[in-house]
Amino acid sequence: MFFSPICLNYKVLLCLSFFLVLCLTPHPSFGKYASIVIDSQSGKIHHSVNADTRNYPASLTKLMTLYLLFDAMDRKTINMNTKFKV
């Protein structure tokens, strides 16, 4: 089979540019999540990723809502038939 050198050069250049773009594109979850692990007794930080960035709480808000809902049900201030306006 015969390949022209110009055609081969374009194919190599195309493949290299594709892999360069692929390698330089950040993964979507790099700046999305934050975590921190602190020893409660010593206060030493064992692990932190994006700990100083401002993030919007999603699941934590839902968990707190459920916690307060179940607490109100335990205190008998609401029951399973109570309706809420959302």
Question: Can you give the residue ranges of every domain in the chain?
Answer: 55-79
- Cβ atoms of 22 and 14 within 8 Å: the answer is no
Give the CA radius of gyration of the chain: 27
Distance, in Å, from the CA atom of 65 to the CA atom of 58, rounded to the nearest integer, reads: 11
| CA distance linking residue 41 with residue 60, whole number of Å | 24
Per-residue pLDDT of the chain (86 residues; tens, 9 = 90+): 556 667 667 777 887 787 777 777 766 555 567 888 999 899 999 999 888 888 777 778 888 888 999 999 999 999 999 998 87
- Does this model's pTM top 0.95? no
In the chain, at which residue ranges do the beta strands (DSSP E only) sit? 35-38, 45-49
- Bridge partners of 38? 45
